[in-house]
Structure 1
Amino acid sequence: MGHMISLTASDTHHFSAYEAGTPDAKRALVVIQEIFGLTDHIRAVCDELAEHHGYHVIAPALFDRAERDTVLPYDDAGMKKGLALKDRIAPDDLLADVTASAHALNRHGHTRVGVLGFCWGGLVAWEAATRTRDFAAAVAWYGGGIASVSHEKPHCPTQLHFGGEDAHIPHTDIATIRENRPEVEIFVYDDAGHGFGCEDRPSFNKPARDLAHARTMAFFDRHL
């Protein structure tokens, strides 16, 4: 099991983060939360990566910029509050926290760090790949909003996963990303909705989750 730590961004903002694994792990990842915060699910993802795949993982608490120690329920009220908190945080500030997490892993001796984001975190992972040079590989699961910034080119190999039945991300968005970024690997899971990788959400789809997970691990194996 992981534990909470405190990190400091380049602008001196102090924030919490969940850390799993040890510095002698073979690979390192920054995991980016959904719109609901550092939920039990996100922590479980970090623990799985550390315990079963040998990763050293840090997941920053991005909501700390607006409201500290915030974890929201997987319901409409939780999403509404999460979106409101998100709107209070500048994208550059988010990236400052994400890169501070990468630098913390660098200080532990990891020279190649990946980034893995879910939901809102998928968009943040995309922006970390396109707007910084701190990551050696990036993967986003059901990242809404990527289409609107898909003219920005990632500085590292990038892989995207979408649900074919995602009511929040239309197929036209996926088509836009494919057109703008043909070099990016994109997978669509026909029967899966938004949040298909989270066991705590009604949209959980185990076959899609397992396949996306296998592809994600293989991708990081190649590039980290």
Structure 2
Amino acid sequence: MSETVQLRASDGFDLDGYVARPEGEPIGGLVVVQEIFGVNRHIRSVADGYARDGFLVVAPALFDRYEKGVELEYSGADMQKALSFVPKLNLNDAVSDVAAALHWVRQESNKKCGMIGYCFGGSLAWLAATRLHTDVAVGYYGGMIGKFKDEQPRCPVMLHFGSQDKHIPKEGVDEVQAAHPEVQIYWYDADHGFNCDARSSYDAPSAKVARERSLAFLKQHLQG
């Protein structure tokens, strides 16, 4: 079952949150953090999938600060529009909006809560782990994580990267691993966006293994 709720950030800004609910008592709460394409069909499907696995899920609409209802595809004019948001992004605002989603899902579930993010959201998952009170964080191909490698995670973290991803230098990820040997980092023979079945870079075998690892990791740290 899905619905849209209003989330309120610490500065008073209201943003939408797409909510997917499990069929029974939730294992825990989970915030799904978008790519630069908004809370589109893919992100909603990710949220729905984790709800089927037993989590109460919310996906905050982080682009509501710039334009309401952003839902973009992965090519053509939509790709250009998505890229146009990048110079506008304010990471502090984004972290605040993620915090609002985390607060909502923690209050609603009354359980431990975690974070999983993709691309832009992957970087935000790292910042949530270092700056917010989340019990676990998973990030897929977060290109900005290396810039914040000196920040110390406050919870268990798992990161996924594609070895063919030209957007994210391996050296930067290696620096993250050296600074934080406790962080679980996995590499896949895949390109950027390999988890998204709506992208040409989708790699089904890699996506399957990464999701299995992510699901087990989330359950390990959120159950009980």
TM superposition score normalised by structure 1? 0.94
For residue 42 of structure 2, what is the aligned residue in structure 1?
41
For 2:87 and 2:43, locate their aligned partners in 1 and report how far apart those are by CA, in whole Å: 21
Amino acid aligned to 1:197: N
Match of 2:58 in 1: 58
- 1:136 matched to 2:108: no
Identity rate, percent = 41
DSSP-derived class of the 1:114 partner: strand
Partner Cα distance (2:106, 2:100) in 1: 10
In 2: Cα distance, 1:220 partner to 1:212 partner:
12
**Structure 1 residue runs of 4 or more that deviate by more than 4 Å after TM superposition:** none
Deviates more, 1:55-64 or 1:144-153: 144-153
Counterpart secondary structure, 1:108? helix
Relative to structure 1, the CA distance from residue 110 to residue 76 in structure 2 (aligned partners, 3 Å threshold; closer, same or farther) is farther
**Unaligned stretches of 5+ residues in structure 1:** none
- Tell me if the contact between 1:65 and 1:89 (Cα under 8 Å) persists in the aligned partners: no
Equivalence for 2:67: 67
Instruction: Look up the SS of the partner of 1:169 in the other structure.
Output: coil
Q: 1:26 to 1:38 in 2, by over 3 A?
A: same
Distance 2:40 2:68 in 1: 13
Task: For residue 76 of structure 1, report the CA deviation from its aligned partner.
Answer: 5.7
Q: CA shift at 1:8, angstroms?
A: 1.3
2-side partners of 1:125 and 1:79: how far apart? 23
For 1:40 and 1:108, how far apart are their aligned partners in 2?
Answer: 24
Q: Alpha-carbon deviation of 1:86?
A: 3.5
- By how many angstroms is 1:161 displaced? 0.2
In structure 2, runs of 5+ residues without a counterpart are none
| Cα distance change of structure 1 residues 103 and 148 upon mapping to structure 2, 3 Å threshold | same
CA distance in 1, matches of 2:134, 2:76: 33
Question: Which residue is equivalent to 2:20?
Answer: 20
Asked if 1:204 corresponds to 2:202, the answer is yes
SS state at 1:5 partner: strand
1:78 aligned residue: 78
SS state at 1:7 partner = strand
Q: Deviations over 1:176-208 (max 9, x none)?
A: 21112211100001x210000000001111110
Root-mean-square deviation (Å)? 1.5
Partner of 1:6: helix, strand, or coil?
A: strand
Look up the SS of the partner of 2:160 in the other structure: strand
Whichever residue aligns with residue 85 of structure 1, its letter is F
What TM-score does the superposition give when structure 2 sets the normalisation length?
0.94
Which whole-Å CA distance do the structure 2 matches of 1:197 and 1:115 have between them? 16
Q: What is the Cα deviation at residue 149 of structure 1?
A: 0.8
Do the aligned partners of residues 123 and 79 (structure 1) sit closer, same or farther apart at CA in structure 2, a change above 3 Å counting? Answer: farther
Q: Which amino acid aligns with 1:124?
A: L
